[in-house]
Amino acid sequence: MSSPPKRIVVYGVTGSGKTTLARRLAESTGLPWHSVDDSLAWRPGWVPVPDEEQRRRVARLVAEDRWIIDGMFSRWREVALPRAELILALDYPRWVSLGRLTRRTVMRCVTRRRICNGNVETLRGMLSGDSIIVWHFRSFARKRRTIREWEADPAVPVVRLTSPRATELWVRSREWC
C-alpha cells in the first residue's frame, strides 16, 4: 500500500471485537471513528433506524475523505464497500467471538451500561429470540463466508485476521499505515 488507508472498515462476526479495534485504530491514526450501532442502526428504546435512513446516513459518512466504521450491514454494504481503502476482517473461531459476546452481554446486563444511543441490555433481552447471542448464531456462517469471498477477490482490499493474536501482531507491525 503506497499511502496509509484513510477509509477503513472493521468487519467481523458478532462479538469479534470490531468496535474495540476500530476505536483503537482511530486513537492511533487520528481517523474519525463511527460506531455503526450508535451512529447508524439504533434509536433509543431499541428502535431500529429504518433501512433507507441508514443508507442515507452511510452515504453521507462514506462520502467523507477519512473514516473508520466498525461494521457493514448487508442492506447498505454496496454503498460503503466501494469507498473502503482497507477492510480488516476479524475471522475468529466461534468460541472466541461467542465467549467475548457472552461475557460482554452478561456484564452489560449486570452494570446496566448504556449503549447504542442510550439503550440497555437486559436479562430478558439476552434470553429472547431477538438477543444478540441468537443473532451471533444466525449470522456467523454468513459473515465468515462473506469474509472469505472478499479474500478471494483481488478487487477487495481485505486483510483477514484469524485470531486476536494475529490482529495484535498486525496492529503493532504498523506496516499498514
Total domains, the chain: 1
Q: Domain limits at 104?
A: 7-173
The angle formed by the CA atoms of residues 106, 112 and 114, to the nearest 5 degrees, is 110
Strand ranges, E, within 30-106: 33-34, 42-43, 47-48, 67-69, 86-90
So what's the pLDDT on residue 175?
Answer: 63
Residue 1 falls inside a structural domain = no
Q: 97 with 14: CB under 8 angstroms?
A: yes
C-alpha cell at 38: 450508535
3-state helix, strand, coil in the chain (%, to 5): 50, 15, 35
* Residue 119 belongs to some domain of the structure: yes
What one-character DSSP code corresponds to residue 83? G
Examine residue 95 and state whether it is found in any structural domain, yes or no: yes
Q: pLDDT tens digits for the chain (177 residues)? A: 468 899 999 999 989 999 999 999 999 999 999 998 887 888 888 888 899 999 999 999 999 999 999 998 888 899 999 999 999 999 999 999 999 988 988 888 788 888 777 777 877 777 777 788 888 899 999 999 999 999 999 988 999 999 999 999 999 987 656
Q: What is the pLDDT of residue 152?
A: 95
Residue 2 lies in a domain: no
Q: What span, in angstroms and rounded, lies between the C-alpha atoms of 130 and 141?
A: 18
Look at residue 46 in the predicted model and tell me its pLDDT. Answer: 80
Is 83 within the bounds of a domain?
yes
161: domain CATH number is 3.40.50.300
Asked if residue 54 belongs to a domain, the reply is yes
Tell me the pTM. Answer: 0.90
